Structure 1
Amino acid sequence: MKHIIVGLVAITLGIWGIVLNWYQFLDLLWVLVPMAAVICGVIALLAGISNFSKSSDTDAGRSVEERLAEESFNE
């Protein structure tokens, strides 16, 4: 019960703070949204590079038929 009361008080204070400082909140969003997009893009790029390098390392030296047979087996 204590956690519910603390949560409701925090939500109320948060909404009150957003309403009182609406323009500052919008300024913060103008900064945070592009930053989040850049950070997510970098993470996705690194994950793609990592995945690409792993797949190219394991596929080196194998014929196309071997790779296709393994892919059809995994599905």
Structure 2
Amino acid sequence: MENLGVPFFFADDYSSWQRGSNENANGLLREYFPKKTDLAAISDEALNKALYDINHRPCKCLAYRTVCEALEDEL
């Protein structure tokens, strides 16, 4: 990375607020599974439904396209 002149940053351990996209994804999942939910007890079907809903939700930062639409446009 240094040879390319690309700035990079390593977040501190247990500092999820330093990883913005991680915090956002956690917040979206928490709409479906509240804190302290045992994620090991969540069925694959329930998790896949939540992920489908999240990936098909319009996003302001993507000009109100869904994540799937934006990815499809890039491919």
TM-score using structure 2 length: 0.30
TM-score using structure 1 length: 0.30
Larger relative contact order (Cα-Cα within 8 Å, sequence gap ≥ 6): 2
